[in-house]
Structure 1
């Protein structure tokens, strides 16, 4: 598979390895984010031992680890009875050569023996620090990596010299992979999201509809059962988590709405929601003007575009897809797809605001997010407290050009946003898939900016 982007991550790993002395690097992030491909790319042309842990008995894990260490050093495999001896053996061998040692899916080792972090601590303190080698601990279980490797209570706390929280690609990063024109690129991103594996499964020489049919709606396709597979790797019984994700994807975004849709009482539901947040499968949002800790106006959203698409269109229609996938696409997905894409378009527009800030197209804002209160909602609000400046923006994924009605509506809603002093500086922006009615820009002052897809493409497409 072609390796895309991750230049900053590769530079961080390379700088650590090439600097004098030893290093302990922690790499973590949700499944399918591209951690393994990143580490394999980093290890290319460097002496390395790459060990991928598996969900199997401890003695089998340890035996395979020792086999790989011995094979790298062209040594006979020694008899090893514990992880302390295994790391002692590795430490002895590293005295003669600078090597990158990668332990991928480290949480699987911890699951079988919760003393493994202590053994790694001993190895780091007593042997690794005397070398120029580098230990990389990698894992997809974010909660385990944060508690057992990065947490204050972990034996490894304070030992790391660097860490990478590997995120899915933003739209701007994914644009390198998505070889469609801008409108279809946004539509495609609304389905695959920024997960590298999903992005590369699509054939951009074919239409988006063909890719959906062949890569998502075909029972033999990888993506057809992908969310179930991901949840079963995390939970023995994922049924309730599946029902929560489906409810949120279908528009039940408050705790009360989710409870009503799933039949799960408020007490247990809060724990399920917290777990899904730890796994980065859902996000909790509050209005950008509110305190994340204190606000009671929270909403939940599925954190990944592909999961939103799957729970919205695939999971509720599994029986029909098995019998007639084309009818499901033509009759259910295609007519409703603009509604699904509209949410992703808001996220792309928010990316455009941040990139515009970096390039000087927008004035600086320290916070950018959604705002709502009662029946009023604004897609994007930017806050600049030090300058008493606020940005209001709307994003329209519609087939008609935007006109004065949206301008007046946004101005009216802006007056309901309680933030800053009365004399605050207000700025406005409109993003539109279908552009703007003729003459609209001439009627607006310098505090407004208008963004069609071509202008957004110039801002977000890598040169």
Structure 2
């Protein structure tokens, strides 16, 4: 049995991704295979793939945004260096380059990983490249080539998503489709080395789980404690001399499908300001709702926003920004951009932005983390069953002529397959929760029990708070097993 390469000690987490890449790279079949690796920028895809190539002796080529001729020269030089040749290859066309690449491995050498990083750059200059790879991976190419383990990598999510879809040339060819996600909030806290859950959460609300933001972008600068969080923001995020200052703008500029940038900036600003429905976004931008369909679809396809369905209304949905640094930029930085670009103004901007930061950045992020906890970390004992989905939603209250927002609704299934509402919850970041919040949840549960089609007979009530709970609420939870109190310590370490 061939020993599997060990994950580098310098690589944090990514156990699943490493195992899948090693399994793919070590497949002993005689034919060439195709794998696709994607994910948002700064997540460590290149680090992963380079690590696999170093561990297995594979060939790694990082493409740049260049013309076809320049890309071919770079590829030929890289391949010559890999083979120890003194003179670079001179490829006139990509069909020659692909043919040579597929012969890097032979039955005698065994499987060889070959990585084309930033593959969208190559296709932008040479649109025929996917078709050439399709031919190389077809029956004739397999007879002429060797056991190359080809890996195509890219950060343009819409492009990479379409690479294997529909009638695309490479549809049905891939043996691996790996998405490298951002680190979740618990992993991110470990990555930053932050043990205080309150500090971990406010830090996560700004930089999320993107590994590069904790290393290259801040040179390892981590807030020492909660009191250092504000100074850390001034040192690294509101500082024009640091890369995080313009990162949000670069994230949009790097997406090839975003052409009408003014509209996309406007949509993201609207969402960051608390407008989560299509109608709310349209009103903020003073446009017709029908004018936003394409922009919302493109932003969703590129992974910059997510559309969450309403838990209780199938035709309704809410949009949220997927990357925390974007929310922070559009809520806090963009409205103050002219002042932030002037030296010495950042402290004043940060001081007057505290209310916005709490309500537009940390508050919504706390709600999302609570949904993440309920989806992946809460036990069946806590929720009253095995969950199938966790969403937010609104519940109409005809008697009071109002509607109630439900921060999270946890659904499961009964033994006979019927869907049941396991729990509903409310999340308050900067507010001590009391019995009034519990009474509101009980009212919502009563409304849901009266609704046809909703099984809420055993629905539990979850109270999430970043500021704590009143003695009265603690006493009520102690007397009622259906009430669960979840504080920051439980979010970060309990179930």
Same fold (TM over 0.5): yes
- The one of 190, 197, 209 equivalent to 1:194 is 209
State how far apart, in whole Å, the 2-side matches of 1:220 and 1:276 are: 28
- The one of 233, 252, 255 equivalent to 1:212 is 233
Quote how far apart the aligned CAs of 1:187 are.
Answer: 0.5
Quote how far apart the aligned CAs of 1:319 are.
Answer: 1.1
State how far apart, in whole Å, the 2-side matches of 1:214 and 1:419 are: 54
Q: Tell me the SS of whatever aligns to 2:463.
A: strand
- The one of 312, 319, 324 equivalent to 1:300 is 319
Quote how far apart the aligned CAs of 1:438 are.
Answer: 2.2
- Are 1:99 and 2:112 matched, yes or no? yes
Quote how far apart the aligned CAs of 1:264 are.
Answer: 3.8
- Are 1:318 and 2:327 matched, yes or no? no
- Structure 1's 199 and 410: CA in aligned 2 closer, same or farther, altered over 3 A? farther
Q: Tell me the SS of whatever aligns to 1:151.
A: coil
Q: Deviations over 1:407-443 (max 9, x none)?
A: 1011112223346456732111111222222253443
- Structure 1's 49 and 162: CA in aligned 2 closer, same or farther, altered over 3 A? same
Aligned to 2:189: 175
Q: Deviations over 1:254-313 (max 9, x none)?
A: 22222222234433311111111111111112212343xxx0x22211111111011101
Q: Tell me the SS of whatever aligns to 1:183.
A: helix
State how far apart, in whole Å, the 2-side matches of 1:397 and 1:448 are: 19
State how far apart, in whole Å, the 1-side matches of 2:24 and 2:452 are: 44
1:265-414 matches, cutoff 5 A: 265-291=288-314, 295=315, 297-323=316-342, 324-332=345-353, 334-339=354-359, 340-357=361-378, 360-362=381-383, 363-373=385-395, 375-386=403-414, 388-400=420-432, 402-414=433-445
- Are 1:166 and 2:157 matched, yes or no? no
State how far apart, in whole Å, the 2-side matches of 1:141 and 1:57 are: 18
Retained in 2: the 8 A contact 1:357–1:365?
Answer: no
Retained in 2: the 8 A contact 1:289–1:371?
Answer: yes
Aligned to 1:61: 71
With CA pairs under 8 Å and 6+ residues apart, which has the higher RCO, 1 or 2? 1
Retained in 1: the 8 A contact 2:112–2:147?
Answer: yes
State how far apart, in whole Å, the 1-side matches of 2:456 and 2:235 are: 55
Retained in 2: the 8 A contact 1:289–1:419?
Answer: no
Q: Tell me the SS of whatever aligns to 1:175.
A: helix
Aligned to 2:4: none
State how far apart, in whole Å, the 2-side matches of 1:298 and 1:221 are: 36
Aligned length: 453
Aligned to 1:8: 16
- Structure 1's 114 and 447: CA in aligned 2 closer, same or farther, altered over 3 A? same
Q: Tell me the SS of whatever aligns to 1:176.
A: helix
- The one of 458, 462, 470 equivalent to 1:425 is 458
- Once superposed, what is the RMSD of the aligned Cα atoms? 2.2
Quote how far apart the aligned CAs of 1:241 are.
Answer: 1.0
- Structure 1's 225 and 192: CA in aligned 2 closer, same or farther, altered over 3 A? same
In structure 1, runs of 5+ residues without a counterpart are none
In structure 2, runs of 5+ residues without a counterpart are 1-8, 397-402
- Are 1:28 and 2:30 matched, yes or no? no
State how far apart, in whole Å, the 2-side matches of 1:355 and 1:132 are: 38
- The one of 78, 83, 86 equivalent to 2:89 is 78
Q: Tell me the SS of whatever aligns to 2:192.
A: coil
Aligned to 1:153: 167
